[in-house]
Amino acid sequence: MCKEIPISYRNRAAGVNYCYEGDSEHGIMYFFYAQCMEMENYSLEQCFADMINEVMTNSNYDEIVFDVRWNGGGNRWIMQPLLEKYKDELAQMKISIIVGKDTYSAAFQFVEDCMQLFDEVFIYGEETGQAITNYTEIKEIDLPALNCTMVIPTVEDYVPEIKKRYSDLERGIIPDIEVY
């Protein structure tokens, strides 16, 4: 019998876009990143700064786990500057990312950003839903005569580090360790 709901499900059920929890006993900082979008009452920048502060004031932490397995995307540009700002602090830790079949768009780009900034990134979970060769940056065209809107992706995703790591670009990111 499970005594406690796992962190990932507890945070997902809470409906937050992002949050963190530390497990200093095991040296792991867990960052739940469900949506690449700001929350009204707690900015991503403040949340990330609070997490980094906790990591830096507690020497027990040696790994950070970013969980983006249910992150369908949003705004890539809200997380990228934070990874760059705290690059030195994060580089001192093992970087692990949990991905899944619901990892798309800006969350997929988050994996690329981590791979560009850090020497070693370990990926766990299931193959992502998005193929490595993918197009985003949509343009909407209204077609009033048909009473619909056509959505056209206009830009191929720029993911050079992911492309270096994988040979089959028509598939998603295949985790180093698959966990279902």
State residue 14's pLDDT score.
75
State residue 11's pLDDT score.
67
Name the pTM for this structure: 0.86
| Res 1 pLDDT > 50 | no
SS3 for the chain, per residue?
CCCCCCHHHHHHHHCCCEEEEEECCCCEEEEEECCECCCCCCCHHHHHHHHHHHHHHCCCCCEEEEECCCCCCECHHHCHHHHHHCHHHHHCCEEEEEECCCCCHHHHHHHHHHHHHCCCEEEEECCCCCCCCCEEEEEEEEEHHHCEEEEEEEEECCCHHHHHHCCCCCCCCCCCEECC
Output 125 or 133, whichever has higher pLDDT: 125
State residue 3's pLDDT score.
52
| Res 75 pLDDT > 50 | yes
- What mean pLDDT is predicted for residues 116-140? 90
Q: pLDDT tens digit string along 6-65?
A: 666 666 667 789 999 999 999 999 999 999 999 999 999 999 999 999 999 988 999 999
